[in-house]
Structure 1
Amino acid sequence: MELKGSVALVTGANRGLGRHLAQQLVNSGAKVYAAARRPETVELEGVTPLGLDVTDENSVREAARIASDVTLLVNNAGVSLYNPLVSGSMENVHAEMNTNFFGPLAMTRAFAPVIEGNGGGAVLNVASVVAWMHPAQAGSYAASKAATWAMSNAVREELAPRGIAVSALYVGLMDTEMTAVMPPEGKSDPADIAAQALRAIEEGTPEILADEGTRLVRQGLSATLTAQA
């Protein structure tokens, strides 16, 4: 799809990758709803701030009512709590699944008829390399991103007849607030990742592998699983 003249809604647009996606969409000539739980934290020129909690069904419905001209939905909002599945908090498991999987699904369900009614468009889901590699210390985050992978593939097939393309972005560590506790080595620039993702949206790429590490992990999915000592 062409970004110029499109109408985009970006969740989690107040910081990190979401902020770069929103800014670059504006620069591309799109109208942008920059959504965040606290819209007053959106500090970007040229966007329309929108209060949105993707885990709240009423909030999602209200966003679809207000942003009724959307043709591109960017499901970027996410949370990472570094939570193991067995020894970690079940509350954190639910929090990560609600924000990273059920939230984007609710947004897609709410905005699919909006996008279709506006002549078609696209959905971008921001996933992660941990959709395919599952570190124990971040087990619930990995599970939520694996679910996002499955959702993206299933919803792509379901929405294609309605004129809606679905892409998913897979990336390793980025230099954002979410990864601030980690060493800086090996982190991608979120501005570069945003630019890659938006080019891929224009080209209709279904699966966006944003860095070399992610590409290697994706290629290795056919490898034999070995037992852990």
Structure 2
Amino acid sequence: MNHFRFGQRFSIWTGVGAAIIIVAALAMAAALGLRNTSLEDHPLEIAQEIALVAAVVVFAWSAIHQQSAGRMASIGAAVVSAVFYLRELELQVVGPVTDYLNSGSFRLHEAALVVLIAVPYIVLRWRLMPTLVDYVRSRDVWPFATAAILLIIADRLDGHGFLFGIRSLPIFIEELFELLAYYLMMCAGIRVLVTARKAADESSAAEPLTRH
């Protein structure tokens, strides 16, 4: 899990990016309205999907350059990002396939498939669990913990029409918090990938010297 470390520089740049996202979201809300900014196929939803696709790619890529608990964590993060992407993806129904993808049955089958794959994988890698548990208890887990808190708050706002007497404010905050959560996961994935690739390159460069 050495690649899952997030220092002060990461915190600063991630915070700057989050501030830019918030300012941009408020500007779009002022121009388009709270509801229009937050609806499906509108700015916040599109940005969420982009962040999630990027998170899937970088975590899957970083898993290639890692071993043991780090690889397991990267695979898990990639799967979680993919699940959230499929949850956010709402396709226009034009046939039986898109109808199924938008149905509750697909959500159920998706969850069952994840469980069927995840449980055997965890059992086979059970020896790595103490390392993962220690990491979850460490301060370096903060990007993922923060993302989880943002998603919980967003879920609590789902279905509410008014907040502080302002119509559509709940859905705007919900979508903004979801975007910030996915952005954090994407940034964490990029950091892990960069660190893992750097370590792999250094290891490859050191091999010829070791042979001599």
Greater fraction of residues in helix: 2
TM-score (normalizing by structure 1): 0.27
Higher-Rg structure is 2
Larger RCO of the pair (alpha carbons < 8 Å, separation 6+): 2
TM-score (normalizing by structure 2): 0.28
